[in-house]
Amino acid sequence: MLNKKKIAILGATGSIGTQALEVFREHPDAFEVEVLTAANNADLLIKQSQEFLPNTVVIGNEALYDQVFQALDPLNIKVWAGENALCRVVEMEELNLVLTAIVGYAGLKPTMSAINAGKHIALANKETLVVAGALITQMAAEKGVNIYPVDSEHSAIFQCLVGEFHNPIEKIVLTASGGPFRGMKTEQLRQVTKAQALKHPNWEMGAKITIDSASMMNKGLEVIEAKWLFALRTEQIEVVVHPQSIVHSLVQFQDGSLKAQMGLPDMKLPIQYAMGYPERLASTYPRFQFTDYPQLTFEQPDPKSFRNLGLAYEALKKGGNMPCILNAANEVAVENFLKDRIGFLEMSDLIEHCMAKASFMEKPTYEDYVASDEETRNIATGFIN
């Protein structure tokens, strides 16, 4: 690579953010850290900045500004604070790419600012496309912005599509590990604890997505994300459970041929592919050994026991702001499950309740999404209390 890509990492202190920085360590000649951001973890943000010397950092929590400023000002690193700073920093002229690794709805606004400023996006924050897929994809098309998927399943599909030009897709198949509760029925799921839900068998991830994986909501969100990334109809998106997480997803073309992308479950691969595209950069990450995986197995999801996947399909079919309602309800559900205020199965009850109660809008604007998110959070909080 002749010119280094200058990259902003929104959410640098999280699971995706820290793994992205490992990719930077592996490829100092290809990528340069221009911006790092965090919400509250000032200590790690400072440590990362001392190593990678970004141009600017943003700390979301304004109360932590002084601490970060005092540590980084001597290094000539600019320090900004607050939510608006997050939206302004992505407009920096030098930036070539913005990696959106903030968790949840909070990722929407800065992603929109980055697209408006014409920056290409490496998208980990799937909630952005779940909430406002129609708006985001339209904005990206108008601004000539590419959205490179970071989610391993969507990266797999993206990789399968390279070189296929305009060959029509018959369907895609998203693989799901099934999470820690695979095979459990409703009665067993009623008893599961937060600690069990936080132990994912194959992936080390942030708390929210780990709970989403255990409840199958993660796959539901990914179905909606896939619709927007690859311009698919709902009927073209299937889910299959694949406990080993080696086949990351598949595309079936109109001749019946299936292409799959495989590899060890390691998020550094899709992060690196999104940042380096169209190049495949060399890496020293561990390699897959067939003898470690004598069997790769596949099974149907169980929609009766794991209702969230069905709710996500329902939201996608309904369209409009229904996926935004689903997402807001789910964020409140996960937050309260993590605080031991509701049980595992009550998360689906809560989401279903919000989908029935929140105001439906066929063609929402950005302001409508904001209002819908707020209304749903109020309904959800009322349901819990």
Tell me the C-alpha distance between 222 and 273, whole Å: 19
Amino acid identity of 69? F
Tell me the C-alpha distance between 18 and 47, whole Å: 11
Q: Which residues of 62-83 are buried (b: 16+ CB within 10 A; e: fewer)?
A: eebbebbbebbeeeebebbbee
DSSP state of 299: B
CB of 331 to ligand NDP, least distance (A): 11
Backbone φ, ψ for residue 95 (5° rounding): -70, 135
Q: Which residue, 39 or 241, has its beta carbon nearer to ligand NDP? A: 39
Q: Which residue, 327 or 372, has its beta carbon nearer to ligand NDP? A: 327
Integer Rg of the chain from CA: 20
Cβ proximity of 267 and 16 under 8 Å: yes
Tell me the C-alpha distance between 65 and 61, whole Å: 7
Q: Which residue, 206 or 319, has its beta carbon nearer to ligand NDP? A: 206
CB of 261 to ligand NDP, least distance (A): 15
CB of 212 to ligand NDP, least distance (A): 7
Tell me the C-alpha distance between 366 and 165, whole Å: 32
Q: Which residue, 102 or 350, has its beta carbon nearer to ligand NDP? A: 102
Tell me the C-alpha distance between 335 and 339, whole Å: 6
Q: Which residue, 14 or 276, has its beta carbon nearer to ligand NDP? A: 14
Q: Which residue, 38 or 81, has its beta carbon nearer to ligand NDP? A: 38
CB of 111 to ligand NDP, least distance (A): 11
CB of 320 to ligand NDP, least distance (A): 22
Q: Which residue, 203 or 230, has its beta carbon nearer to ligand NDP? A: 203
Residue nearest to ligand NDP (CB): 14
Please calculate the CA angle 287-289-295 and round it to the nearest 5 degrees. Answer: 135
Query: Which tokens sit at 32?
Result: 């340069």
The three-state secondary structure class of 319 is coil
CB of 211 to ligand NDP, least distance (A): 11
**Site for ligand NDP, rule CB under 6 A:** 11-17, 38-41, 60, 101-103, 106, 124-127, 151, 203, 205-206, 208-209, 267
β-pairing, 147-149 vs 120-123, is parallel
CB of 64 to ligand NDP, least distance (A): 9
